């Protein structure tokens, strides 16, 4: 069974950092592009970042470019999102999801709250 | 960025009804469009991709159509389990963007 499990969410102060992880199982992780997508009550769903199966050339939404970094460790079936210089508007549930275009499998999400 | 606009925002219907949700793109997305279903506290689940292709395991009462800037998701024979919020997403042009959602109440 395909499973994606996010972790690392929590409370961070504005300007602070958090590192999210997504651990995959039930499929050949290094065959798939991966994504981070976030959801807020007010802004809905927002694609955040994509990374190729090899880990090269991550892509980012303009709203996080220069602050967030996506990486992966295929040996450990893991995806990461390093979030720096956090802002209140980064408060959201963060999901990892498979797919190069549309998003086939999703994790359950991890909640990030940015507040002083 | 391509803006995706869904209508209606909320829809109330009865079991057995045929319901249609519309998604309009601010510029052509060709047929690169997906539909998702999300239930409270859960992640979205893909129903339709490439505008009209049914994802494996999704009931055949769900169908999609459209091309360019106007797309529809139809549920034929609404079931109690279909109570959820539905989102469209274009993947023709980066950044991939979603509609704001349509809540279906039964």
- Cα within 13 Å of Cα(B34), Cβ side: 20
- Looking at residue A59, its pLDDT comes to 96
Beta-bridged to residue A81, according to DSSP, are: A20, A70
Q: Which chain B residues are within 8 Å of A101, Cβ to Cβ?
A: 32, 34, 49, 91, 96
Residue B70: per-residue pLDDT: 98
- Across the interface, which of B89, B95, B99 has its CB nearest the CB of A102? B89
For residues B36 and B45, give the distance between their C-alpha atoms in angstroms, rounded to a whole number. 5
Q: Which of A40, A43, A45 to mutate to test the interface with B (most CBs of B within 10 A)?
A: A45
| pLDDT value for B64 | 98
The residue behind tokens 């034929």 is B76
Instruction: Answer whether residue A43 shows pLDDT above 90.
Output: no
The CA distance from B47 to B45, in Å, is 6
What residues of chain B lie within 8 A of the CB of A46, using their CB?
Answer: 98
Pairing of strands A110-114, A10-12: parallel
Q: What is the mean pLDDT of chain A?
A: 96
In this prediction, the residues of chain B whose per-residue pLDDT falls under 50 are: none
Residue A41 has pLDDT above 80, yes or no: no
Give me the pLDDT at residue A57, please: 85
pLDDT digits (tens, 9 = 90+) for A58-89: 999 999 999 999 999 999 999 999 999 999 99
* A59:B89 CB<8 A: no
- Contacts of residue A108 in chain B, CB cutoff 8 Å? 42-43
Tens digits of residue pLDDT in A10-31 = 999 999 999 999 999 999 999 9
pLDDT of residue B41: 92
What would the mean pLDDT of A54-60 be, rounded to a whole number? Answer: 93
Predicted confidence (pLDDT) per residue in B72-92, tens digit: 999 999 999 999 999 999 999
Q: What is the bridge-based pairing of β-strands B33-38 and B84-90?
A: antiparallel
């Amino acid at each position: 069974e395909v499973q994606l499990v996010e972790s690392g969410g929590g409370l961070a102060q504005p300007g602070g950092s958090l590192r999210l992880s997504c651990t995959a199982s039930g499929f050949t992780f290094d065959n798939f592009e991966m994504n981070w997508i976030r959801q807020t009550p007010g802004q809905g769903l927002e694609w955040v970042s994509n990374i190729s199966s090899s880990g090269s050339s991550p892509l980012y939404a303009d709203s996080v470019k220069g602050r967030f970094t996506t990486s992966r460790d295929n040996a450990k079936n893991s995806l990461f999102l390093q979030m720096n210089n956090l802002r209140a508007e980064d408060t959201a549930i963060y999901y990892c999801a498979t797919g190069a275009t549309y998003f086939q499998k999703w994790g359950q999400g991890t909640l990030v709250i940015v507040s002083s | 960025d391509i803006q995706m606009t869904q209508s209606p925002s909320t829809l109330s219907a009865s079991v057995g009804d045929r319901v249609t949700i519309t998604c309009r793109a601010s510029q052509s997305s060709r047929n690169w469009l997906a539909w998702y279903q999300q239930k409270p506290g859960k992640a979205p689940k893909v129903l339709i991709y490439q505008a009209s292709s049914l994802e494996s395991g999704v009931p055949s009462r769900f169908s999609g159509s459209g091309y360019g800037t106007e797309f529809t998701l139809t549920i034929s024979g609404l079931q109690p389990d279909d109570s959820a919020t539905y989102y469209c997403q274009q993947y023709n042009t980066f950044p991939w963007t979603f509609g704001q959602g349509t809540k279906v109440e039964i």
